Amino acid sequence: MHPWNEPVFQSVKRMLASGRLPHALLLHGPRGVGKLALAERLGQLLLCEGENRPCGKCDGCRWYLAGTHPDLRRVEPEALAKGVEPGEEGEEGAESSSKKKKPSLDIKIEQVRALADFLNLRSHRGALRVALLHPAEEMNPNAQNALLKGLEEPPAGAVFILVSHRPHRLLPTVRSRCVKTPVPIPAADAGLAWLKSQPGGQDAARWLAFSGGAPLQALKYAEEASTWDGLLKSPAPADEREGLERLAEVLQKVAYDRAFSSFGLAPKYKTGAASKVNPRRLLAFARQMGENRQLTRHPVNARLFSAEMLARTVDLT
């Protein structure tokens, strides 16, 4: 767990100590602020069998840290389990017989149904059972509806921890049955200090700004600096969906920085962009690029879609 999330962790720890722990927590915040690490630490807290929880020494902690605790289930998209971040691959679809199917980006209904079977069994250790879903918004609608039954009538001793980058994509009925726990962007000095301490965290201030203040995301940008620098200097059509999403992100952040500059404000993402274009047009374009970032998850023609995005930038320079 990252140090800036300690206050959130302690607040949940106090709820547990006072017997007020809710059956479902929704940890939500921007990508790259350490929500998953926080959720994993909370899971260890809930399954620890020692006195000073989490102790790191008991059987529960040892099993948890080894990834073999029988009272924990982690539910995530197949693509993420194989090391592919949602948004980096297209939807699972028909493939030629010579190719394997791409791993799914969704949490499917079968996974949620299997989770229900697990939660309705007795705890192996006679305590809690923990279900960690990440990222929760990747549940398709059928999966969310299947989860809803467990949230409405939770089995005794079951605790759900949902981690979400985009909680608005969850059904309102799912959100309403969880205690919403925001995980904010850390203070700039804390994020910068952490980033500078990491291998690969070069030019920390620049990439922290480009990430919007999210340290883990900034580290990813810093590690791929040449790719992002190339897109910022010379945006070009993409041949694959990963490149398409990156292009949409760069165009969105450049548009926002130009809009802020037009309003006389400091650019948020430090892209070096400036413009005299009507800022409202720039903001409208930035919002469209945000929508396009979501569309890149679908099986679109990357070359044509990226060319269309670039064509719209002609009037925004």
Structure-token pair, residue 80: 């993420």
Pairing verdict, β 158-164 and 129-133: parallel
Each residue's pLDDT tens digit, 286-298: 999 999 988 887 7
Each residue's pLDDT tens digit, 102-120: 777 789 999 999 998 888 8
Alpha carbons 20 and 18: distance in angstroms, whole number: 6
Structure-token pair, residue 191: 């994020």
What is the reported pLDDT for 316?
67
Locus of tokens 């005299």 = 276
Domain edges within the chain: 3-182, 224-316
Nearest to 177 by CA among 141, 147, 138: 147
> Over 60: is that where the pLDDT of 129 sits?
yes
Mean pLDDT of the region 269-281? 84
Give the pLDDT band (50/70/90) at residue 51. Answer: confident
Each residue's pLDDT tens digit, 237-253: 988 888 899 999 999 99
CATH architecture of 3-182: 3-Layer(aba) Sandwich (3.40)
What is the reported pLDDT for 13?
93
Q: What is the largest CA-CA distance in the chain?
A: 65
Torsion of CA 58, 73, 104, 151, to 10 degrees: -140
What is the reported pLDDT for 101?
67
Angle formed at CA 241 by CA 238 and CA 243, multiple of 5 degrees: 45
As beta bridge partners, residue 31 has none
What is the reported pLDDT for 146?
94
Each residue's pLDDT tens digit, 199-234: 988 899 999 999 999 999 999 999 999 999 999 999
As beta bridge partners, residue 180 has 26
What is the reported pLDDT for 71?
94
Measured in degrees and rounded to the nearest 5, phi and psi for residue 80 equal: -70, -40
Each residue's pLDDT tens digit, 78-111: 877 655 454 444 333 434 333 456 777 789 999 9
Alpha carbons 283 and 140: distance in angstroms, whole number: 30
Per DSSP, 123 falls in state P
What is the reported pLDDT for 151?
94
pTM of the shown model: 0.86
Q: Determine contact, residues 115/75, Cβ cutoff 8 Å.
A: yes
Of the chain, the percentage scoring pLDDT greater than 70 comes to 92
Mean pLDDT of the region 57-70? 93
- Mapped onto helix, strand or coil, the DSSP state of residue 199 is coil
- Mapped onto helix, strand or coil, the DSSP state of residue 163 is strand
Q: Determine contact, residues 189/208, Cβ cutoff 8 Å.
A: no
As beta bridge partners, residue 159 has 130
What is the reported pLDDT for 72?
94
Cα-atom radius of gyration of the chain, to the nearest Å? 21
> Over 50: is that where the pLDDT of 58 sits?
yes
What is the reported pLDDT for 275?
74
Q: Supply the mean pLDDT for the chain.
A: 88
Alpha carbons 20 and 54: distance in angstroms, whole number: 18
Give the pLDDT band (50/70/90) at residue 11. Answer: very high
What is the reported pLDDT for 104?
78
Per DSSP, 160 falls in state E
Give the helix/strand (H/E) hosting 189: helix 188-196
